[in-house]
Amino acid sequence: MPGERVAVVGAGLAGCLLATLLGRRGLAVTVYERRADPRVTGAERGRSINLAISARGLDALEHVGLREQSLARALPMHGRMVHPVDGAQSFRPYSADGKRAINSISRGELNHSLLDAAEQTPGVTLRFEHRLTELDPAKGRLVFQTPDGTVDERADIVLASDGSYSAARRAVTFNQSLDHRGFDYSQDYLEHGYRELTIPARDGEFALDPDALHIWPRGSSMMIALPNLDRSFTCTLFWPRSELEALDTPAAIEAYFRVHYPDVVDLMPTLADDFMHNPIGSLVTVRCWPWVHAGENCTVALVGDAAHAIVPFFGQGANCAFEDCIEIDRCLSENDGDWATALAAYQDRRKANCDAIAEMALENFVEMRDKVNSRAFQFKTAAQHALERRLAGRYMSRYELVSFTTIPYAEIPARMRRQNLALGGVATLAALVAAGVTRGRRRRS
Amino acid sequence: MPGERVAVVGAGLAGCLLATLLGRRGLAVTVYERRADPRVTGAERGRSINLAISARGLDALEHVGLREQSLARALPMHGRMVHPVDGAQSFRPYSADGKRAINSISRGELNHSLLDAAEQTPGVTLRFEHRLTELDPAKGRLVFQTPDGTVDERADIVLASDGSYSAARRAVTFNQSLDHRGFDYSQDYLEHGYRELTIPARDGEFALDPDALHIWPRGSSMMIALPNLDRSFTCTLFWPRSELEALDTPAAIEAYFRVHYPDVVDLMPTLADDFMHNPIGSLVTVRCWPWVHAGENCTVALVGDAAHAIVPFFGQGANCAFEDCIEIDRCLSENDGDWATALAAYQDRRKANCDAIAEMALENFVEMRDKVNSRAFQFKTAAQHALERRLAGRYMSRYELVSFTTIPYAEIPARMRRQNLALGGVATLAALVAAGVTRGRRRRS
């Protein structure tokens, strides 16, 4: 019921979307953001510059009328462009008909649109430079550090959308008054870190095909590149941290790239400088339960990365977080605005889905850095696409189910098994054999 | 090398033992404890009153000359006394010869002895009522809250022995400057909680056999009881939290106990009061890595429960933490007091062992609450003991390897497999069959 004071912690993509949805319900929502207003100060260095929005994210943006506006500022990528060390690059469409695309979009720009949408929604207040330092779920008390000193706030509902390193989640993780009820929590890091590099526009044009997500699979590591509206590409290296740290002179960096990334080294004039000065990012998977913590005077719910940080290899982090927001909104509708019931339903419905995409994202890393370049994988993909064309709608690859539908993530693994079993004929057998080969190899890697 | 300032956070069992060992090396050690001096104020309600010290713990106590003194104040328990709902209790010795025992000892008393030992060691300083609120591994800065206000301290080496909910570990878990290197961390709660009850002395005598650890296996839950020097028993209920919370009137409590624990209900005059007023404890398993975090001016190492909290069902929490302390001391000896090398060796040697006992402790819960009462389990134990008697020293049960030897925990599972495979003859086959039956059942539970 309106009347509750709702606090949203974190004005990133999910926080802004959620605030907008809740404001439209007539609720009084205050959004607290640690950083200054990025529309004024510009983006923070070190966060990923662009991301891939696909069906789930677009569906969510449609709810707040931002789908078309966002797509207009996005670059569709219809497939992967694979760059082997030797030989020519080759294009692999994401869908059987070659028509479906994921969309490269600037994280900063999308965040600005969502901040604008939230700000323009009656009932929503944005507070920047508010860093959460204390959260007491029993009292419904939030303490923030601001440039003007400490600020003490109250809320009945706290929605924590403050990301992988959520300060709100931290308050719950070790809260003595909640300890006895048990908060299962894990954070697992990959040994790989990531670092961003740049391929600028060349003579005012894209230096690589802008219609693809580019991949340089290199076995234990890889580089990817996504196009930007300014005709540059942002590259991300996913390397074992030790290797990222080992290259520490411009000469060593260039020599390494000339051997392992020969086709792009000359497209990266700022390579050594980017490599030496851009921060190394971490790849963490966070799992926890429950997401909803009811204190005496306040309920805290975790949303998006705060509840389930995942690795970026399926391009689903933001898409998945958006789905969380839509689900909260839907659960409130189904329960006449009753927060307790709505939040309980939200976590119950989302947990298995977010666990499923977390696993698929980890699996996709192996596929992208290694298998995408193998004959077995190419055979499997080609066989799947042949099946899809023949069976129009009755067969879809896992990639398409994740990226081009809004089927719950948790249903995808079972659906893949059913599809493969239910289909008869030579083509299926071939696909199954190919899948078996690939899966067998993956296990050994 | 002496000269380093060593801080030990937490003056529990492990912290005191560690400080004593380090003081004897000629190091300057300051121990900071959140609580007041328990030798002055008495024990805190809600912590377990007694614990079982076995070979590993005794070996460690021997290093600081406290073995005999501790044993003199302990009660040996030579086996389990199993109490079925119907029928007579039955005694199952822990060892084949019936002579080996684990030792029920007061946690408070043992802590007092260890506090005395630390205090009497030159170079060791104890500081009570110092609650750690900040730990900056880069600067080697520790901030404590004390009754006299905030205290700012410096250390080169911080050894965190502040328990399952370690404040020092928390500082490392979410430290932004360490984040990028990755701290894998998990906390997993059982759905069971625990609550302590009392069986007082009856007419000045023990109301149950004091030579046993008593178990009331009840399928999904259980109660255990350990004897105290004052001839009382401390009982611990391990029940699903929902069941512990459901019984909330004296009449309901007594009725329940009369049905499920008929043989002891009349031995517990304060049952309803204890049940309603003692806190519910949590059962958490904490796993993390690395345990050692080297900042610019300070190295933080996690020790005991802070590094690897385990559930209490093998009675190994304190024994295992003591082994950590001995290992740190040994690694310092082997590396001429060089902390960096010593702590690296410490974590490498201990991690697999602590993971192994964490798993075995979880498995033992199923055995104690359920299987201990089954025919298959009794047959298996009897067969194992028969083997041990026949093969004098060449066969030992897992329980004996854990409780009556100092063989590294991590070697025990493999040794069990080797033992079972290497032995021939009917007796072995019988044991294997019995073990198979039990293991099969366990998996389904």
ipTM of the complex: 0.79
Give residue A268's pLDDT: 97
Tell me the one-letter amino acid at B99: K
Which residue in A185, A239, A284, A311 has the most chain B C-beta atoms within 10 A of its own C-beta, making it the best mutation to test that interface? A185
pLDDT band at B41 (very low <50, low <70, confident <90, very high): confident
B-chain residues near A278 (CB < 8 A): none
- What mean pLDDT is reported for chain A? 90
B187 touches chain A (CB under 8 A): yes
Nearest to B193 among A180, A189, A193 (CB): A180
Give residue A371's pLDDT: 72
Give residue A264's pLDDT: 95
pLDDT band at A387 (very low <50, low <70, confident <90, very high): confident
Which residue in A134, A165, A180 has the most chain B C-beta atoms within 10 A of its own C-beta, making it the best mutation to test that interface? A180
* CA–CA gap between residue A156 and residue A160 (Å, rounded): 13
Verify whether the Cβ–Cβ distance A165 to B182 is below 8 Å. no
CA A242 to chain centre: 25
Neighbours of B45 (CB within 10 A): 10
B189 touches chain A (CB under 8 A): yes
Q: Which helix (H) or strand (E) holds B345?
A: helix B339-369
Verify whether the Cβ–Cβ distance B186 to A185 is below 8 Å. yes
Give residue B177's pLDDT: 62
Domain A5-75+106-187+284-363 of CATH type 3.20.20.80: no
Give residue B361's pLDDT: 96
Q: Count of A–B CB contacts within 8 Å?
A: 58
The contacts of residue A14 (CB under 8 Å, 6+ apart) are: A161, A303, A304, A305, A318, A321, A322, A324, A325
Where in chain B are the domains? Answer: 5-75+105-187+284-364, 189-282, 374-444
- Segment B209-227, tens digit of pLDDT: 999 999 999 988 899 999 9
Give residue A379's pLDDT: 73
Verify whether the Cβ–Cβ distance A182 to B189 is below 8 Å. yes
Beta strands in B79-183 (DSSP E): 79-82, 90-93, 102-106, 124-127, 131-136, 141-146, 149-154, 157-160
A191 → chain B, closest CA residue: B182
Query: A183: distance to nearest CA of chain B, Å?
Result: 7
Give residue A442's pLDDT: 41
Nearest to B184 among A170, A179, A188 (CB): A188
* CA–CA gap between residue B272 and residue B256 (Å, rounded): 11
- Mean pLDDT on B40-58: 82
Which residue in B187, B190, B195, B289 has the most chain A C-beta atoms within 10 A of its own C-beta, making it the best mutation to test that interface? B187
A183 → chain B, closest CA residue: B189
Give residue A43's pLDDT: 63
Concatenated DSSP letters of B114-139: HHHHHHTSTTEEEE-S-EEEEEETTT
pLDDT above 70 for B85: yes
A191 touches chain B (CB under 8 A): yes
pLDDT above 60 for B172: yes
Give residue B370's pLDDT: 77
* CA–CA gap between residue A341 and residue A343 (Å, rounded): 6
Verify whether the Cβ–Cβ distance B188 to A184 is below 8 Å. yes
B168 → chain A, closest CA residue: A174
- Mean pLDDT on A128-144: 94
Verify whether the Cβ–Cβ distance A187 to B184 is below 8 Å. yes
CB of A293 closer than 8 Å to CB of A160: no
A-chain residues near B186 (CB < 8 A): 184-188
Verify whether the Cβ–Cβ distance B189 to A184 is below 8 Å. yes
Query: B282: distance to nearest CA of chain A, Å?
Result: 5
- Segment A291-324, tens digit of pLDDT: 999 888 899 999 999 999 999 999 999 999 999 9
B-chain residues near A183 (CB < 8 A): 187, 189
- Mean pLDDT on B46-54: 82
pLDDT band at A441 (very low <50, low <70, confident <90, very high): very low
Query: B290: distance to nearest CA of chain A, Å?
Result: 11
Nearest to A189 among B165, B182, B187 (CB): B182
Give residue B203's pLDDT: 95
Give residue B445's pLDDT: 35
pLDDT band at A328 (very low <50, low <70, confident <90, very high): very high
CB of A369 closer than 8 Å to CB of A220: yes
Query: B113: distance to nearest CA of chain A, Å?
Result: 29
Whole-number percent of chain A with pLDDT over 90: 73
pTM value is 0.85
Whole-number percent of chain B with pLDDT over 90: 73
Whole-number percent of chain A with pLDDT over 70: 90
* CA–CA gap between residue A130 and residue B432 (Å, rounded): 63
pLDDT above 60 for B436: no
Give residue B443's pLDDT: 40
pLDDT above 70 for A176: no
Give residue A422's pLDDT: 66
- Mean pLDDT on A122-134: 97
Verify whether the Cβ–Cβ distance A183 to B170 is below 8 Å. no
B180 → chain A, closest CA residue: A282
Which residue in A47, A174, A190, A283 has the most chain B C-beta atoms within 10 A of its own C-beta, making it the best mutation to test that interface? A174
- Specify the higher pLDDT residue, A174 or B222: B222
B-chain residues near A181 (CB < 8 A): 241
Nearest to A179 among B165, B179, B190 (CB): B165
A188 touches chain B (CB under 8 A): yes
A165 touches chain B (CB under 8 A): yes
Which residue in B189, B245, B287, B289 has the most chain A C-beta atoms within 10 A of its own C-beta, making it the best mutation to test that interface? B189
* CA–CA gap between residue B14 and residue B20 (Å, rounded): 10
Give residue B6's pLDDT: 98
Query: Tokens 């965190």, residue?
Result: B160
Verify whether the Cβ–Cβ distance A182 to B284 is below 8 Å. yes
* CA–CA gap between residue A99 and residue A77 (Å, rounded): 10
Nearest to B180 among A179, A190, A282 (CB): A282
B-chain residues near A186 (CB < 8 A): 184-188
CATH top-level class of B5-75+105-187+284-364: alpha beta
Task: Return contacts of B148-155, CB within 8 angstroms, 24+ apart.
Answer: B153/B7, B153/B30, B153/B32, B154/B5, B155/B5, B155/B6, B155/B7, B155/B30, B155/B298
A47 touches chain B (CB under 8 A): no
Nearest to A189 among B184, B189, B193 (CB): B184
Q: Which two tokens stand for residue B252?
A: 């309901």
Query: B81: distance to nearest CA of chain A, Å?
Result: 30
- Mean pLDDT on B326-335: 98
Verify whether the Cβ–Cβ distance B187 to A186 is below 8 Å. yes
A-chain residues near B168 (CB < 8 A): none
Interface of B with A in 257-286 (CB under 8 A): 279-282, 284
Verify whether the Cβ–Cβ distance A183 to B186 is below 8 Å. no
pLDDT band at B437 (very low <50, low <70, confident <90, very high): very low
Give residue B434's pLDDT: 55
pLDDT above 60 for B258: yes
The DSSP symbol for B338 reads -
Give residue B435's pLDDT: 57
A245 → chain B, closest CA residue: B181
* CA–CA gap between residue A195 and residue A404 (Å, rounded): 28
